[in-house]
Structure 1
Amino acid sequence: MVSILSIFFFCFPTVALSASFRQIFLPPTGFGPESLAFEFPGGAFYSGFRKSRNNLLMIKHTATYFVRTIAFCDGTTDDPVKGPICGRPFGLAYDPIARLLYIADAYYGLLVDDSNGRLAKQIATDAERQPFVFCNGLDIDPITRNIYFTDTSAVYDLRNSTKGLQANDSTGRLLKYDVRTNQVTVLMRNLSGAAGAAVSGDGRFVLVSEFVGNRIQRYWLNGSNAGTSEIILSNLNIVRPNNIKRTILGDFLIAAATVTQASQTPVPIRVRVDGSGTISETVSLEAQYRSTPISEAQQYGLSVYVSSRGVNFVGVYSP
């Protein structure tokens, strides 16, 4: 599993590109931050990345702490040999009440760490005796503290995700981990590239994105519709929806893409929607990311932090 041995202190510069955008760079060998988790209220955040023995990092103010794995993991952890051994952190969420960091690892399933440099604990590897193949997005229910996460596919793991996209794979699942019973429940099946998951502020529902199916579904956790789901967003102009994050206002930010008439190639966007899928804002990130896909957009304070598996930095958009 992803062995967290110790935490080291480093300091890397934050480079301002303009009045509204800056970059927080990973260490020289770091690449591809997939997700972010903020450690409230101290302002620290975590991110997972590859091409380093340090595949989980913590940034606190101007200081950067790196969580080290075994030396064998130097080099990319997305390759066929090292990936399954070293792991690849994808979805992250920090529980400020329990002071625990939850990690959806593409290879090792659901992990938890107390963020003090001890070993990350593997707490779930399967549901209904079906092993996880590609754990992806993750969120914490703000009411119950239960964990909601996705298994992108039952067939294609991270190494073969492109094949899953080409095959229009629809074997993904939305899952719940009960922190009191340590049990995993399957909530939704047959999802087309299950990616992001985000619980509403009142704990009534969870949104799940389908990267292959190009849509967002809402699954009801409570109320008269509990246990049912419906498609709330399926827009031809919004494709490849990835991680979803709840904002401080209670709506959601979705990392996605759109195809412009000028380029005819997907360009990254962040989309703000409410719990019913109504779009209130679409922001193009083409100027900073060109055609590089983004994996997450998350609001912290007045800024929006953006992560991408195609760059070596975390982008910060500020008003």
Structure 2
Amino acid sequence: MTSQRTGPEGFAFDPTGKGFYTGISGGKILKYIPGKGYVDFGYITESSKSQLCDGDLGNKNMEKCGRPAGIAFNDKTGELYVADAPLGLHVISRGGGLAKKIADSVNGKPFLFLDGLDVDPTTGVVYFTSFSSIFTPGDVLKAVASKDATGKLFKYDPSKKVVTVLMEGLSGSAGCAVSSDGSFVLVSQFTKSNIKRYWIKGPKAGSSEDFTNSVSNPDNIKRIGSSGDFWVASVVNTAKGPTNPSAVKVSSAGKVAQTISLKAQFGDTLVSEVNEFNGQLHIGTLFGPFAGILSLKK
């Protein structure tokens, strides 16, 4: 990844398993093709392709360019859903190109700061979060420092084309992940060092509970295939900034099964996502000019 392109915050993998997709500053979605490198796949706005959105300008002009945060495929349709931090929920068709905006508000209230996203592998329903309902992406540090608790979890049902609010009062709701059987969705609270579980199906459907308090400053959460486990990107947030980034594997019961320190490879980078695919961990960063790949020991 060149210095003009920064912040590969999250990853998505299409059914072909050839390469990966990531969203970066300036409103672009890139596809990484082994042996070839990064190629443009999609973009949030027409401006995303212009010099107005290159490099540092992309962050300064976020409201015009977009800033993809959470991304995930609907494997059945081939559509790529994108939670764009300032510009709302979008979808990109199987062939790539300009994204279609689905929603930038719910019940008349603008999203302001979207973050995590996942697609239910059993139904195709999209779940996504807002980090805050008061602060914008440019004020993320203020949101964390003030312990803002206005984050939300949303649901978008493509068959009904309706967005609904499932949870409110979340403190830095950065990531979400649906279980492989579609029975629940996890939501991280970065500021509280907590992960909540919202039940989609079963006797507890529509209710939420604490899932774990054992992961420090959890960011994105990603399910590990059909194993029932999840990877969580974690840091220790201090007054001087994030430190000790790690990949934390959590079981479906909320127990920490494994912790891998990422400091030796990536320093004190604000690691935003840890996503396992084909025996490798793909490491995302909020500000860094790289996407990391770490092979798992067999």
Select between 35-44 and 178-187 the one with higher mean Cα deviation: 35-44
Compute the TM-score of the two structures, normalised by the length of structure 2: 0.91
For residues 7 and 237 of structure 2, the distance between their equivalents in structure 1, rounded to whole angstroms, comes to 23
For residues 153 and 61 of structure 1, the distance between their equivalents in structure 2, rounded to whole angstroms, comes to 36
How far residue 54 of structure 1 moved from its aligned partner, in angstroms, is: 6.9
For residues 54 and 215 of structure 1, the distance between their equivalents in structure 2, rounded to whole angstroms, comes to 29
> How has the CA–CA distance of structure 1 residues 125 and 219 changed in structure 2, closer, same or farther, with 3 Å as cutoff?
same
Equivalent pair of 2:196/2:211 in contact (CA under 8 Å): yes
Paired residues for 1:34-53 under 5 Å: 34-50=9-25
Match of 2:155 in 1: 176
For residues 265 and 251 of structure 1, the distance between their equivalents in structure 2, rounded to whole angstroms, comes to 25
Match of 1:289 in 2: 266
Unpaired segments of 5 or more residues in structure 1? 1-25
How far residue 116 of structure 1 moved from its aligned partner, in angstroms, is: 1.9
Counterpart residue identity of residue 187, structure 2: V
How far residue 115 of structure 1 moved from its aligned partner, in angstroms, is: 4.0
Match of 2:40 in 1: 66
Equivalent pair of 2:75/2:121 in contact (CA under 8 Å): no
Match of 1:309 in 2: 286
How far residue 180 of structure 1 moved from its aligned partner, in angstroms, is: 0.2
Counterpart residue identity of residue 274, structure 1: S
For residues 184 and 171 of structure 1, the distance between their equivalents in structure 2, rounded to whole angstroms, comes to 18
Counterpart residue identity of residue 55, structure 1: K
Equivalent pair of 2:248/2:258 in contact (CA under 8 Å): yes
Q: Which has the higher strand share?
A: 2
Equivalent pair of 1:247/1:253 in contact (CA under 8 Å): yes
How far residue 117 of structure 1 moved from its aligned partner, in angstroms, is: 3.5
> How has the CA–CA distance of structure 1 residues 139 and 299 changed in structure 2, closer, same or farther, with 3 Å as cutoff?
same
For residues 265 and 309 of structure 1, the distance between their equivalents in structure 2, rounded to whole angstroms, comes to 11
For residues 241 and 92 of structure 2, the distance between their equivalents in structure 1, rounded to whole angstroms, comes to 43
Equivalent pair of 2:217/2:237 in contact (CA under 8 Å): no
Equivalent pair of 2:105/2:111 in contact (CA under 8 Å): yes
How far residue 212 of structure 1 moved from its aligned partner, in angstroms, is: 1.0
Kindly provide the CA deviation profile for residues 157-193 of structure 1, in whole angstroms up to 9, marking residues without a partner as x: 1011111111110000000000101101111000001
Counterpart residue identity of residue 103, structure 1: V
* Higher Rg of the two aligned structures: 1
Match of 1:75 in 2: 55
Matched, 1:198 2:177: yes
How far residue 33 of structure 1 moved from its aligned partner, in angstroms, is: 0.8
2:29 aligned residue (53, 56, 78)? 56
Aligned residues: 286
Matched, 1:137 2:116: yes
Equivalent pair of 1:54/1:66 in contact (CA under 8 Å): no
For residues 18 and 241 of structure 2, the distance between their equivalents in structure 1, rounded to whole angstroms, comes to 39
Q: Secondary structure of the residue that 2:62 maps to in structure 1?
A: helix
Match of 1:109 in 2: 88
For residues 27 and 151 of structure 2, the distance between their equivalents in structure 1, rounded to whole angstroms, comes to 29
Matched, 1:208 2:181: no
Counterpart residue identity of residue 9, structure 2: E
2:166 aligned residue (187, 206, 216)? 187
RMSD of equivalent CA atoms? 1.9
Compute the TM-score of the two structures, normalised by the length of structure 1: 0.85
Paired residues for 1:132-281 under 5 Å: 132-235=111-214, 238-248=215-225, 249-258=227-236, 266-281=243-258
For residues 53 and 203 of structure 2, the distance between their equivalents in structure 1, rounded to whole angstroms, comes to 49
For residues 172 and 148 of structure 1, the distance between their equivalents in structure 2, rounded to whole angstroms, comes to 14
Percent sequence identity over aligned pairs = 38
Equivalent pair of 1:36/1:93 in contact (CA under 8 Å): yes
Equivalent pair of 1:107/1:133 in contact (CA under 8 Å): yes
For residues 259 and 57 of structure 1, the distance between their equivalents in structure 2, rounded to whole angstroms, comes to 29
For residues 62 and 73 of structure 2, the distance between their equivalents in structure 1, rounded to whole angstroms, comes to 24
Unpaired segments of 5 or more residues in structure 2? none
